[in-house]
Copies of this chain bind each other. A is one copy, B any other.
């Protein structure tokens, strides 16, 4: 169906709401491009999570690793990161290498042709000449979508994965968050019916926006947004939740939000988006930090998450508590991305088959 992306104009495609773009981003029932968190429905989220778990188990043995590395050893991925990010970068590298893909990278624009006045369209089309997959991260909102549309109109429409664009979209972060919740609640009936508490800079963190949206795919999930007024979640997100019939709370009181939480999602102040440098320092965020003293307030089977990097939002001595799952969450990013890429290249069936036979 990706054919259809080439059948509409950029202006038309650009105007469509994220969730409604889904049909344009699918081909043979698999993602053709990964641009927005909202393009995934519950069935796909469940399928991807299950596949990630299979990849994770297969990778435990050398034989399994060999099987995985053979899957896409004929494919090559370009990581085009014009916005810095160690974690997302390494996670994607690892995911690609687990599947045997070769990797090329352009991280530093100073070493690229851009200074010679080339347009981004030409740059990305260049990458598509040499690679079979483009994973791109940019400070420019909508750039990944634009590039996917451009490539879909060429005779080499390689898939694009959005690894973060602008303030809005970071779909694979949302996927890894969902996968972490799936794993955390595996013995408790899954994500349905749980209460998720978001804490910190909710105004500017794209991960919270994406995750809040994806959680509407699940039944009876309650969302709670805890932040100082100036960093509170956007009205648009609340409107979206309301429209979806989702129960939510908005609060400034962190401590009282802890006892009822099934998952607490901490975030750091995103001061790189400050309009005036230093604006964030004027906001008192000291009450929005998880310290070791909060552990007694937390349910025994709840989990603490963080998209990382962290500053002081979670005290280091919380790390040893078994409910602190943020390190596992990070590693989940690698597994879910491997599952996603395998699916894009239609190798998911092979993984399921191997898993049934060997695990």
Contacts and interface: CB of A to CB of B under 8 A. Distances in A.
Interface of A: 62, 65-66, 69, 73-74, 76, 78, 81, 84-87, 89-91, 93-94, 97, 102, 104, 106-108, 110-118, 121-123, 125-127, 129-131, 154, 156, 268, 272, 308-311, 316, 327, 330-331, 334
A122 to B, nearest CB: 6
Contacts of A112: 84, 86
Contacts of A104: 90, 93-94
A17 to B, nearest CB: 28
B272 A86 contact: no
Given A86-B113, A113-B85, A118 B310 contact: yes
Given A268-B116, A311-B118, A130 B84 contact: no
Contacts of A111: 81, 84, 86, 89, 107-108
15 contacts: A81-B111, A84-B112, A84-B115, A86-B111, A86-B126, A93-B104, A93-B130, A94-B104, A118-B310, A121-B316, A122-B309, A129-B327, A129-B331, A130-B334, A154-B327
Contacts of A108: 108, 110-111
B97 A76 contact: yes
Binding site secondary structure of chain A: helix
Nearest 10 A-B pairs (CB), nearest first? A118-B309, A65-B74, A86-B112, A97-B102, A86-B113, A94-B130, A117-B311, A113-B309, A62-B74, A129-B331
A165 to B, nearest CB: 17
